Structure formats: C-alpha cells, structure tokens
A = this chain, B = another copy of it.
C-alpha cells in the first residue's frame, strides 16, 4: 500500500470493549516495525481497566473521554497526545455525545490484553 483513506478500512468490534470498534490502518504485515490502528468509541462506550504487553502511542482525533493510566485519571480531547507504557493498567470512557476517536500505534511485538477484575465491596 501507499495511500488509503480511513473510510476504506474495515472496522471490527473490540470484544473486550463497549461500543468500541478498531480499524487496522497499517498492519504489522504492511509496516516492518509498528502498526497504526484507529479506535472509535461511541457515546457510552469505552474499555474496562486492562493491561497490554506493548506500549501505546496515541493521538486523539475527536470527541472526549476520561481515561485512566496507572493511578492517574485524565480528560482528553482532540489534539491530545497520550503515552501508555507496556504493562500499565489503563481504561477509557467516552464522556461526550459524539464518538471518541483516536489513533493507537503499537510495536510489532506479541501483545496480550489482560482485563483486570473490578474490585467491589
């Protein structure tokens, strides 16, 4: 590939997410070192607290969300740049009435997603 439009790439539901889809814009087969994905979380959507075995470099394209990284919580919007180190627990919650959209780039290394149990009394 050289050029493609984001609207031409299939979106698949993320099983561990809520109202969340993922598009692989540049796959591990297309790029030798890292893959570019786009996530869209509809209003009410998000992902529960989890870890990945690879780091995330992210850029917010639109919408707004509350996200947790380790013990910190942030509200993020268009133009925010996010770094999530490997193995650090993180979560996402759309807090707007529009889709929360972001790019997420990961290295071409084995990635395991581990959903962390919610603690409750």
Closest B residue, CB atoms, query A103? B59
How many copies of the polypeptide does the oligomer hold?
2
Q: How far is the CA of A106 from the CA of B76 in the complex (A)?
A: 24
Q: What residues of B have a CB within 8 angstroms of the CB of A76 in the complex?
A: 3
Taking a contact as CB atoms under 8 Å apart, the answer to whether B34 and A2 are in contact is no
A1 sits at the interface (CB 8 A): yes
Q: Which of B61, B67, B83 contacts A31 (CB 8 A)?
A: B83
Task: State which of B6, B72, B105 has its C-beta within 8 Å of the C-beta of A57.
Answer: B105
- Chain B residues near A55 (CB-CB < 8 A): 31-33
Interface size class of A (residues with CB under 8 A): 35 or more
A59 (CB) vs chain B CBs: closest residue: B103
Can you name 13 extra interface pairs (CB under 8 A) apart from A25-B81, A34-B57?
A: A1-B83, A3-B67, A3-B74, A3-B83, A7-B79, A9-B81, A26-B57, A33-B34, A36-B105, A59-B103, A61-B61, A103-B103, A105-B105
Q: List 30 A-B contacts (CB under 8 A).
A: A1-B83, A2-B70, A2-B74, A2-B82, A2-B83, A2-B84, A3-B69, A3-B74, A5-B80, A5-B81, A6-B80, A6-B81, A7-B79, A9-B81, A25-B59, A26-B83, A30-B83, A31-B55, A33-B33, A33-B34, A33-B55, A33-B107, A33-B109, A34-B57, A34-B105, A34-B107, A36-B105, A57-B105, A59-B103, A61-B61
